[in-house]
Amino acid sequence: MNLNELKVKLDAMAEEARAELSTLERQDDLVQARNRYLGRKGLVKDLSAELGKLPPEERRLVGQELNQLKDAIEGAYDAQLKRLEERAREAALAQGAADLTLPGRGLPPSGGHPLIQIEEELIAIFRAMGFDVATGPELEADLYNFESLNFPADHPARDMQDTFFVEPLQGREDILLRTHTSPVQVRTMLKFKPPVRIIAPGVVYRHDDDQTHSPMFRQIECLHVDRGVTMAHLKGTLTHFVQRLFGPSTAIRLRPSFFPFTEPSAEVDVQCIFCGGDGCRVCSHSGWLEILGSGMVDPNVYRACGYDMDGITGYAFGLGVERVAMLKLGIPNIRLFYGNDLRFLSQY
């Protein structure tokens, strides 16, 4: 074949291939046809053999056209394959198959649950003061929830925190749902020597159930143990904390109280954030709102944790996250947090 004959051949083959491929209705036939042109022993290969017989300067010219021919056939093949696949998809949909190519429904933007938002705000305030975050299990051993915290077995102090004991677990009868986050104090001191500065957020369980109490709620524990830590540090930390949370002029007061694991112990009140201390319905006209329990760590707790107490002191406190969130957001009933009602949740 000379140059011109070869060119005519190439054009004719492009035409023929396009016409043939675009009519094939089955994928197998389509693949076969493609291979008949482009396969290792295909028609295009035969033409390339002819190409080799041309003089070099003509060879380059036809070489380009040969490549265009290959592209044209490959293109016709792809286009027809797409058409067949599209047709198969439409047929499947017509028979009721799910359309996997539809875009997903997407999630609307959200600020997160109000309780979690407040918890994160509280954690951020303590982190900024240098506290690390520690955690412990919700299914807790009596040893950590009570015994090491200076609640002896059968002592009436346990009545204050009656709880849900669980069926003997792997042969153990001392497993309960923790009543507070204070066991994380013990777990932390068993692992680390002073100085210790941690907060421990988490879920706890009690048998309380009313407008402001739920049998399952959240606490944040705080523990700071070091040489020379005093009640002044406790008061300073708490003052800074409530002022970051409720505003720079918010006052606190400490009232003597009792916890087995702190001595002395104090209930901490904040000046009522609704009436500024003048007295209103929320604060029962006292001007103060109770927000947490606190105290200096009892030496018996250090003993239970194997601490050498020489010169070591510390404070601890535990606050209820729901309580703080209700005050901060003006929420009257604790149930609203758990109802999953979008009319409530979407306000935050």
Q: Is 66 helix (H, G, I), strand (E, B) or coil?
A: helix
Q: Residue 267 is encoded by which pair of tokens?
A: 């209930």
| Per CB under 6 A, 80 contacts ligand PHE | no
Choices 163-171, 275-283, 316-324, 331-339 (CB under 6 A): range interacting with ligand PHE: 316-324
| Per CB under 6 A, 294 contacts ligand PHE | yes
Choices 38-46, 246-254, 291-299, 334-342 (CB under 6 A): range interacting with ligand PHE: 291-299
Question: Closest approach of Cβ 124 to ligand PHE, in Å?
Answer: 20
Question: Closest approach of Cβ 269 to ligand PHE, in Å?
Answer: 14
- First-residue to last-residue Cα distance in the chain: 82
Residues 6+ apart with CB under 8 A from 281: none
| Per CB under 6 A, 262 contacts ligand PHE | yes
| Per CB under 6 A, 145 contacts ligand PHE | no
Question: Closest approach of Cβ 187 to ligand PHE, in Å?
Answer: 14
| Per CB under 6 A, 316 contacts ligand PHE | yes
| Per CB under 6 A, 325 contacts ligand PHE | no
Whether the CB-CB separation of 316 and 184 falls below 8 Å is answered with no
Whether the CB-CB separation of 215 and 208 falls below 8 Å is answered with yes
Whether the CB-CB separation of 299 and 283 falls below 8 Å is answered with no
Residue closer to ligand PHE by CB (options 37, 259) is: 259
C-alpha span between 331 and 309 (Å, rounded): 43
- Contacts to ligand PHE from residues 165-224, by CB under 6 A: 180, 182
| Per CB under 6 A, 295 contacts ligand PHE | yes
Choices 27-35, 61-69, 97-105, 288-296 (CB under 6 A): range interacting with ligand PHE: 288-296
Question: Closest approach of Cβ 293 to ligand PHE, in Å?
Answer: 3
| Per CB under 6 A, 259 contacts ligand PHE | yes
- Which residue in the block uniquely carries the two structure tokens 């609704």? 274
Choices 31-39, 52-60, 110-118, 289-297 (CB under 6 A): range interacting with ligand PHE: 289-297
C-alpha span between 127 and 134 (Å, rounded): 11
Single-letter amino acid code for the residue at 165: F
| Per CB under 6 A, 126 contacts ligand PHE | no
Whether the CB-CB separation of 226 and 259 falls below 8 Å is answered with no
State the number of binding residues for ligand PHE (CB under 6 A). 10
Q: Residue 25 is encoded by which pair of tokens?
A: 């209705």
Question: Closest approach of Cβ 180 to ligand PHE, in Å?
Answer: 3
| Per CB under 6 A, 321 contacts ligand PHE | no
Question: Closest approach of Cβ 311 to ligand PHE, in Å?
Answer: 21
DSSP, res 39: S
**What are the φ and ψ backbone dihedral angles of 132, each rounded to 5 degrees?**
-90, 160
**What are the φ and ψ backbone dihedral angles of 2, each rounded to 5 degrees?**
-90, 180
Q: What is the 3-state secondary structure (H, E, C) of 151-182?
A: CCCCCHHHHHHCCCECCCECCECCEEECCCCC
Question: Closest approach of Cβ 318 to ligand PHE, in Å?
Answer: 3
Task: List residues binding ligand PHE (CB under 6 A).
Answer: 180, 182, 259, 262, 293-295, 316-318
